[in-house]
Amino acid sequence: MRYPLLLAIGVSLAGAPPVLTELQPRGAQKGRPFTLTLAGQNLGEGARIVSTLPATFTPLAPPAGMAAGRYATFLVEPKAELAVGVYPVRVQSGDGLSNILLFSVGAFPEINEEESQPGGVAHSNDSIEKAQSLPSSAITLNGTLRGAERDVYRLQVKAGERRVFEVDGRRAGSAIDPVIRVLDAGGKQIARSEDGALLQLDPRLDMTFPAAGYYYVEVHDARFSGQAQNFYRLKTGAYAYPTEVYPLGGQRGKQVEVSLGASRVSADLSGAKGPQTFINLPDSPALPLPLAIGEFPEISEPVTAPLTLPLTVNGRLSRPAEIDKYTLAVTPGEEYIFELQARELGTSKVNGVITIFDESGKRLASAGDTPFAVDVFAVQASSRTAGDPFLNFKAPEGVKQITIEVEDLARRGGQHYAYRLHASKAAHDLQATITTAAVNIPAGGTAIVNLNVDRRGYGGPLTIKALNLPAGIRMSGGVIPPDPPESLTPRLGGRRAMVSLTAEAGAKLNVDELAFAAVGVDAAGKPIERRARGIGYSIGVNGATAQGVVDRQRPLSGTWMGAELPIAMAPAAPAHLGLRLEKSDKKEAGYEFLFRWKWTVKNPMQAVPPTVSVDVPNFADLRIIGMAVDPNDKTTGTFLVTSTRNTLPAKYDIGINGRLMADGMPQEIYSEIQQFTLPALDPEEKNANASPSAAR
């Protein structure tokens, strides 16, 4: 995605890319100019704002006392009426690209939580006795939550007055999981919302007050967690908002009529490039809702005729315990893929299950109701909650028709239990994601890009291919070994790949984004190629920290942006880090590989670390041992990579990195990725009792 609006701002620390830690404020009322301050590092001379926000940016002198390069302030003047929504903001300078933070545009006048303003007193609005007063008019309040605190606001209402209270948190790029409570004058809770329908983890209350008087609105984090991005935007007023989304999506390039509750809107999918677009009620102050974009022809239930593939079926489990059934004529031996799209869209509550039955009612296969794979790599890559299910299915001998059933795992149903069932003829599939949000390549140096490939029935070897690599940039790495043939796991998990990008001296970029594809080979020897999508941004979410608590939290990402991998050149690094394989030896339990690292520094006074970090993706039972600096040359050293009988014989990537202090700032230096091959052990050397899952 290209962001055409650029503007020079303030003074930077040369040599390190800019970093954004905060936007002040986090939102503004549409149609009105406002002052925006960026906070972070290296926000200096030659830097530019890169955003889809249609506005002009005029630099202003930062307030007195602000450290040079840590803040940049400007007047933002919208060019036209802004649409309510969130907009990505990043900075680019001669030192590279920054991360992205999100800025919100709302419809109401904006006010701020007094406690969170410069000079504000901590915990000054944490109870009804100290509540901050809100005006009776419709407003958007910008506040923050610092860990285990509650923010309380006082509001005077009339008898019979309708008010909507809504928090934009996760949807606006905040890491908190917000909760709204409304209390009466005595402190008794009269309403509460945590995860509102269609709002991901954000809450909304729509209520009519029975009596006039003062009431209190409390906002807190559901887990009272400490987050770097800890802001929230509390909207209140009497306004309309979407109460449903049906269908949940449409086919790319088409027009689709979507019900948002009391109203229907037409969504134009002809120009959309990403996996989704956004829709809203006209003039609603609520944030727009995502609408999925698919590639297959689409139909909506009720569906009485057998399915014709490929196809996407839009359905809804309208009642608790409802099961939707679809029939499909199949050919024995043919293979199919069925995939459900629901909860992951953020607009459905369906925790889906797909089940397939033959003509006699015999259950043949299911997905969504099975335990996770016992797979160290898949477990490490998965979130604390399961995603939407998919199912690879091969029609057995004698079966000519199947019934596909869709239901909710908890047997729930209702207005917000819609789904999209994708069905196609295919033996397998895969999905590739670039998990690095942006890359800055040092002039003459190396940067690392990480990708993840979700195996969907495909167990063979994979390689990552660059689709538009500029001249002067070379790529190394990008291999993913096959899954072992003895694997018993019905769903193959995610596998990580890494590639290194190295700029030759004088290399220039002629693209704003790099594109990659994951490539495999089918049974007939034909390539299977899937273009990788980018994550847009990654905003970390801290989990619970109590001992023994398992609370893995997904980072927030922006796949909706339709971006791939934004790229920029950065200044030359203070050192180069090389890696080479010196020898390999066969041992009793496996193989041993001796690698040597070598630092080449520009400044002979530059100190280098005595160890390096080693990365070997997808290498089971990996052990790095014997790391030691050469006693005669402190710029070089060696380490050993060892395998076991459970490590799959294959080609592997290996990369190293080390951290230097240059000009008082830490810099991470990466080697180019190298490859090495692990030979197969003789059959009698393999442990007959080794677990198949351990080999993965």
Q: What is the pTM of this model?
A: 0.90
Lowest mean pLDDT among 18-22, 130-134, 435-439, 549-553: 549-553
Res 60: pLDDT: 83
Q: What pLDDT does 18 receive?
A: 93
Q: What is residue 383's predicted lDDT score, i.e. its pLDDT? A: 38
Query: Is residue 451 a contact partner of residue 565, using CB atoms and an 8 Å limit?
Result: no
Residue 272 predicted with pLDDT over 90: no
What pLDDT is attached to residue 46? 73
Please give the pLDDT value at position 157.
97
Q: Is the pLDDT of residue 583 over 70?
A: yes
CA angle, corner 673, sides to 671 and 675, nearest 5? 140
**Mean pLDDT within 337-350:** 95
In the sheet that holds 352-357, the strands lie side by side as 324-329, 401-408, 352-357, 363-367
Task: Map out the domains of the chain with their CATH numbers.
Answer: 8-106 (2.60.40.10), 118-237 (2.60.120.380), 249-294 (no CATH), 298-427 (2.60.120.380), 431-570 (2.60.40), 575-685 (2.60.40.340)
Categorize the per-residue pLDDT at 548 as very low, low, confident or very high, splitting at 50, 70 and 90: low
pLDDT of residue 585: 95
User: What are the residues facing 407 on neighbouring strands?
Assistant: 353
Distance CA 386, CA 343 (A): 10
State the Cα–Cα distance between residues 254 and 338, nearest whole angstrom. 23
Dump pLDDT digits (tens) for 660-678.
Answer: 988 778 899 999 999 999 9
State the DSSP code for 170.
Answer: G
Q: What was the pLDDT predicted at 650?
A: 95
Count, in order, helices (H) and strands (E) of the chain. 1, 56
Lowest mean pLDDT among 113-122, 124-133, 415-424, 477-486: 477-486
H or E element in which residue 380 lies:
helix 376-381
Q: Whose CA is closest to 427, among 404, 405, 456, 401?
A: 456
Cα end-to-end span (Å), the chain: 36
- Beta-carbon contacts of 558 under 8 Å, excluding residues fewer than 6 positions away, are 88, 100, 102, 535, 536, 537
Rounded to the nearest 10 degrees, how much is the dihedral formed by the CA atoms of 600, 603, 607, 612?
A: -20
The residues, ordered by sequence, that sit 6+ positions from 291 with a Cβ below 8 Å of its Cβ are: 245, 248, 249, 250, 256, 258, 267, 269, 276, 277, 278, 279
62, two tokens: 């930062």
Note the pLDDT of residue 525: 84
Of 398, 279, 388, the C-alpha closest to 331 is 398
So what's the pLDDT on residue 695?
35
Given a cut of 80, is residue 680 above it in pLDDT? yes
Higher pLDDT, 74 or 654: 654
- Please determine, for residue 370, whether its predicted confidence score (pLDDT) is greater than 90: no
Dump pLDDT digits (tens) for 194-208: 999 999 999 999 999
Look at 246 and 546; give whichever has higher pLDDT. Answer: 246
What's the full length of the chain, in residues?
Answer: 696
- Average pLDDT over every residue of 649-657: 97
Q: For the segment 446-469, what is each residue's pLDDT rounded down to a tens digit?
A: 999 999 999 888 889 999 999 999
Q: Return mean pLDDT, the chain.
A: 89
| Token code pair at residue 608 | 């280098």
DSSP annotation of 414: S
Q: Which of 4-8, 50-54, 577-581 has the highest mean pLDDT?
A: 577-581
pLDDT tens figures, 382-404? 333 458 999 999 999 999 999 99
Alpha-carbon span 411 to 594, nearest angstrom: 56
Q: Which residues contact 388 (CB under 8 A, 6 or more apart)?
A: 339, 340, 341, 342, 343, 344, 352, 368
Q: Contact, 200 vs 167, CB < 8 A?
A: no
Q: Which helix (H) or strand (E) holds 232?
A: strand 231-237
Specify whether the CB–CB gap between 14 and 45 falls below 8 A.
no
**pLDDT at residue 10 is higher than 50:** no
Range name among 95-99, 138-142, 408-412, 548-552 with the lowest pLDDT average: 548-552
- Pairing state of beta strands 289-294 and 276-279? antiparallel
> Quick count: other Cβ atoms within 10 Å of Cβ 471?
10
pLDDT-based confidence at residue 505 (cuts at 50, 70, 90): confident
Model pLDDT, residue 386: 58
Rg (CA), the chain: 28
Bridge partners of 593, per DSSP, are: 584, 641
- For residue 383, which of 372, 374, 391, 392 has the smallest C-alpha distance? 372
User: pLDDT: is 82 or 642 the higher one?
Assistant: 642
State the average pLDDT over residues 87-112: 95
* pLDDT tier at 375, thresholds 50, 70, 90: very low
How many CB atoms are located within 10 Å of the residue 481 CB?
A: 22
pLDDT band at 544 (very low <50, low <70, confident <90, very high): low
Q: What is the pLDDT of residues 246-263, one digit of tens each?
A: 999 999 999 999 999 989
What is the pLDDT at residue 545?
60
What is the average per-residue pLDDT within 498-519?
95
State the pLDDT at residue 685: 59
- Angstrom distance (rounded) from CA 316 to CA 322: 9
